[in-house]
């Protein structure tokens, strides 16, 4: 399942197999049709990446409609010169046919030109009427001024002044008229440019609408894939939790078994302590039974060795189980880390796509600032893509948390292993201490036997029988007191060692 998912993810991430020459030459809808045909002819396992196709279509639109300003200026001047020089068939200056990216667009018909001519005529009539009224007023004022003058020379001088003023006004009006004519030509050129841009915007809008529809379809497919992946991940999570619960139950059962064994071993330790006390009492009372006691002690030592071997075998089994669990957890950690890296790669790829979309969107917004409705739809699609990226980020955080939990479990198992190693070392040290105590007891026993033999040799001279009896009783009392002191010191040392060392699960083997 995981291999199939990885193959599907890589197939979606890989770019489509369309050559760049065909995509640049064809329009957007033709590119999509050719891509779909190539997908049908190619292998059924490798599907074309829809997002790459859409991005290429958007690049085609930008390349076709977002031309450099210099080229646009040259084209617009050529179009305006043709419109001014050439007289079309219908008699209108704007009935030219323009070709934008291989698609012919006819400008507005003769009705627009007629309406413009009528508006210009009305605009000319209004200032003519105003001029007539102004001339009537000026004539009346001039006649009044001439009537005020008495001599004809003064009247002629006044007329000359008036003529000079009118001549200057006429020159200024001619200059203004030339400036206005230039402005009129510029406005006509701008009007043609705006019409061309409007036609381009209409074409771009239609193509962007088709792109938006394809994006909506792509988003629907992506949503369905996300739902399927979420279901698969939920099933995997349930399987992992069930497996983890089973392992926890096994560990709890093992811990209970260890506790029961520890209780049994403690009881055996208590019994051994009682037996040691009895042996010490027998040693004080009867020196003749020392050999039998040592034989019994040898038997006990054999039992302890057998129990120690059993405990070591149990420890080996526990260590093997621990190693198996550790290997399993390491494999899970490696798999989770690999999944996390794959999700990170997908996240970076999506972020790069998002950055490309944002840059292209900004360029398109600068060129088509007046088509706000198209950009609002595109912004909505971008918001959907950001939501998708947020969902992917949440999935990456979930995988990271799983990876951290597996690492924590590994650390806990490592700590348990160190604790068990320490317990084993403590048991071995205690066994060594017991061996040293046994050797010390044997040396003390030999020393005491030598002292008894020396006393007996010293008493071999023929003294009185009463004195011999008293000395023998005193010797026996001294030996008993010394043995009691030694046994009490040995018992106290053993008790102190037991109190100082903590009771571990396998400490009863002592």
- Each domain of the chain, given as residue ranges in start order, spans 21-38+49-65, 232-509
Q: Kindly report the pTM of this predicted structure.
A: 0.27
Q: From residue 21, give the alpha-carbon distance in Å to each of 17, 27, 32, 459.
A: 12, 12, 14, 126
**Residue 299 three-state SS:** helix
Q: SS3 breakdown of the chain: % helix, strand, coil, rounded to 5? A: 85, 0, 10
**What local confidence, expressed as pLDDT, does residue 39 receive?**
42
**What local confidence, expressed as pLDDT, does residue 182 receive?**
92
**What local confidence, expressed as pLDDT, does residue 124 receive?**
56
**What local confidence, expressed as pLDDT, does residue 125 receive?**
59
Residue 1, judged by CB atoms within 10 A of its CB (0-12, 13-18, 19+), counts as exposed
315-351 confidence digits (pLDDT tens): 888 888 888 888 888 888 888 888 888 888 888 888 8
Beta-carbon contacts of 34 under 8 Å, excluding residues fewer than 6 positions away, are 18, 22, 26
Q: From residue 123, give the alpha-carbon distance in Å to each of 32, 45, 84, 165.
A: 52, 70, 21, 27
Length of the chain as a residue count = 510
**What local confidence, expressed as pLDDT, does residue 100 receive?**
36
362-391 confidence digits (pLDDT tens): 787 777 676 667 667 778 888 888 888 888
**Residue 238 three-state SS:** helix
**What local confidence, expressed as pLDDT, does residue 91 receive?**
38
* Cα torsion through 52, 57, 58, 64, rounded to 10: 150
**Residue 104 three-state SS:** strand
**What local confidence, expressed as pLDDT, does residue 457 receive?**
86
Instruction: Show the low-confidence residues of the chain (pLDDT under 70).
Output: 1-49, 65-136, 283, 289-290, 293, 368, 370-372, 374-375, 461-510
**What local confidence, expressed as pLDDT, does residue 366 receive?**
74
Q: From residue 262, give the alpha-carbon distance in Å to each of 315, 419, 500, 504, 508.
A: 13, 16, 18, 8, 7
Q: From residue 120, give the alpha-carbon distance in Å to each of 114, 123, 175, 269.
A: 10, 5, 20, 122
Q: How far apart are CA 70 and CA 451, in angstroms?
A: 125
Q: How far apart are CA 480 and CA 487, in angstroms?
A: 10
**What local confidence, expressed as pLDDT, does residue 116 receive?**
59
Measured over the CA atoms of residue 194, residue 96, residue 201 and residue 26, the dihedral's sign is negative
């Amino acid at each position: 399942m995981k291999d199939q998912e990885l193959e599907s993810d890589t197939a979606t991430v890989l770019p489509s197999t369309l050559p760049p020459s065909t995509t640049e030459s064809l329009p957007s809808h033709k590119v999509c049709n050719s891509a779909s045909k190539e997908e049908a002819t190619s292998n059924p396992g490798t599907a074309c990446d829809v997002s790459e196709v859409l991005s290429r279509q958007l690049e085609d639109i930008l390349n076709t409609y977002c031309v450099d300003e210099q080229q646009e200026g040259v084209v617009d001047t050529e179009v305006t010169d043709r419109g001014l020089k050439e007289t079309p068939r219908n008699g209108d200056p704007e009935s030219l046919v323009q070709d934008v990216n291989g698609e012919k667009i006819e400008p507005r018909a003769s009705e627009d030109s007629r309406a413009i001519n009528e508006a210009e005529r009305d605009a000319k009539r209004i200032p003519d009427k105003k001029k007539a009224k102004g001339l009537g007023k000026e004539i009346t004022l001039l006649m009044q001024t001439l009537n005020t003058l008495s001599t004809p020379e003064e009247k002629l001088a006044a007329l000359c002044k008036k003529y000079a003023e009118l001549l200057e006004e006429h020159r200024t009006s001619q200059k203004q008229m030339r400036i206005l004519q230039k402005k009129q030509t510029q406005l006509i050129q701008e009007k043609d440019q705006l019409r061309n841009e409007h036609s381009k915007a209409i074409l771009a809008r239609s193509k962007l609408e088709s792109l938006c529809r394809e994006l909506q379809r792509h988003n629907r497919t992506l949503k369905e894939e996300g739902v399927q992946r979420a279901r698969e991940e939920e099933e995997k999570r349930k399987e992992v939790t069930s497996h983890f619960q089973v392992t926890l139950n096994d560990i709890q059962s093992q811990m209970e078994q260890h506790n029961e064994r520890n209780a049994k071993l403690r009881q055996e330790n208590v019994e051994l302590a009682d037996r040691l006390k009895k042996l010490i009492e027998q040693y004080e009372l009867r020196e003749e039974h020392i050999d039998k006691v040592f034989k019994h002690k040898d038997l006990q030592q054999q039992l302890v060795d057998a129990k120690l071997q059993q405990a070591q075998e149990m420890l080996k089994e526990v260590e093997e189980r621990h190693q198996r669990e550790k290997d399993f957890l390491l494999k899970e950690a490696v798999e989770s880390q690999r999944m996390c890296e794959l999700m990170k790669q997908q996240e970076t790829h999506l972020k790069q796509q998002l950055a490309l979309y944002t840059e292209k969107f900004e360029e398109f917004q600068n060129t088509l600032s007046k088509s706000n409705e198209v950009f609002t739809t595109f912004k909505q699609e971008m918001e959907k893509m950001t939501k998708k990226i947020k969902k992917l980020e949440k999935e990456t955080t979930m995988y990271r948390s799983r990876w951290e939990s597996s690492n924590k479990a590994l650390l806990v198992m490592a700590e348990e292993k160190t604790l068990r190693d320490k317990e084993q070392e403590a048991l071995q040290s205690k066994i060594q201490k017991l061996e040293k105590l046994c050797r010390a007891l044997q040396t003390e026993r030999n020393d005491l036997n030598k002292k008894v033999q020396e006393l007996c040799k010293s008493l071999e001279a023929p003294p009185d029988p009463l004195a011999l009896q008293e000395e023998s009783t005193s010797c026996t009392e001294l030996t008993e007191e010394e043995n009691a002191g030694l046994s009490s010191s040995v018992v106290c040392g053993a008790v102190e060692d037991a109190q100082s060392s903590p009771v571990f699960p396998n400490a009863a083997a002592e």
